[in-house]
Amino acid sequence: MKLTVLGNTGPYPKAGGACSGYLLENGDSKVVLDMGNGTLANLRTICDIEDITAVICSHLHPDHISDLFVLRYALEMRGMTIPLYAPDSPDKEFDRLSYKNVFDLTPITEDLKFEIGGMTFSFMEMRHPLKDFAIKAYDGKSTFMYTGDTAMCQALEEFTKGVDVLLCDSAFLDDVDSAIHLSMEKAIQNANNAGVRRLILTHFSPEISPQRCYEIGNGRFNGRLSKAEIMANFTI
C-alpha cells in the first residue's frame, strides 16, 4: 500500500494549504480517505477523477468533507457514480451527500467490513463530538490505520493494537486533556503502547508548523516518527 497526503490541517487550512485528506493506493485501486477543502486539487495532480475507486470519510465535519461537494459536480458532468462510505450522522449532512445520486452511499458501522483492491477495510467508532470512525486497511502483509479525529479513549487503544503504520490526529502541540482531539504527546503514547512501527502525525493546527511538531516529538516515539506534509507519500 502507498499513502499520499492531500491535506493535513484542521479546522481550517493555512495559506496555500489544505485540510484533511489522504490517498491510499494498492495496485490500480485508489481510495480517498476524507476530502477536506483543498484536497481535490491536490488529488488531481496524481490521478484523474475517473481513477478514484472509492471515498471513505471518517466523519462529517466540514474540514473533512468540504471537497465532496465539489467532487459531486465533477462526477455529475462525467455521468459517474463512485462508492462513498461515511457515518450517517448528523442526518442533515449525510442527506446532503445523496445529491443527484453521484455517490453510492453506504453508512459506516463497526460491523462493516469490505475489500477494495486487495485491501480489507474495517472500522471502530472513536471519541469525538460527531460520530467518527477510525479506518483500518490490511493488504495481507501490513496494517494501516487512520484515526480520523479523536480524543484518547479505550476504543482507540484497542483498535491500534497490531497496526504497522498509524496516521494519527495530533491537533495539539501541548499535552492537554481534550474531549475532541489528541495532543502530539498522547498520539505518541498511544502508538508506543500499541507497538506501532511507524507513526505519521497529522491534523495540525494551521498556526503550528508540522516541522515544529516533529522536532518536539522526535526521540519520544519508539519507532519511526514522520509528519504528514502535503504531497508526501509513504510506503505502508
How do the pLDDT tens digits run along the chain, 236 residues long? 999 999 999 999 999 999 999 999 999 999 999 999 999 999 999 999 999 999 999 999 999 999 999 999 999 999 999 999 999 999 999 999 998 899 999 999 999 999 999 999 999 999 999 999 999 999 999 999 999 999 999 999 999 999 999 999 997 766 667 668 899 999 999 999 999 999 999 999 999 888 988 888 888 999 999 999 999 999 99
Q: What span, in angstroms and rounded, lies between the C-alpha atoms of 20 and 33? A: 8
Cell of 53: 475507486
Q: Give the burial class of 174: count Cβ atoms within 10 A of its Cβ; 0-12 exposed, 13-18 middle, 19 or more buried.
A: exposed
Q: What span, in angstroms and rounded, lies between the C-alpha atoms of 130 and 149? A: 9
Q: What's the predicted TM-score (pTM) here?
A: 0.96
The CATH superfamily label for domain 2-235 reads: Ribonuclease Z/Hydroxyacylglutathione hydrolase-like (3.60.15.10)
Query: Other C-beta atoms within 10 Å of 236: how many?
Result: 21
pLDDT of residue 169: 95
Count of residues in the chain: 236
Q: What span, in angstroms and rounded, lies between the C-alpha atoms of 234 and 141? A: 15
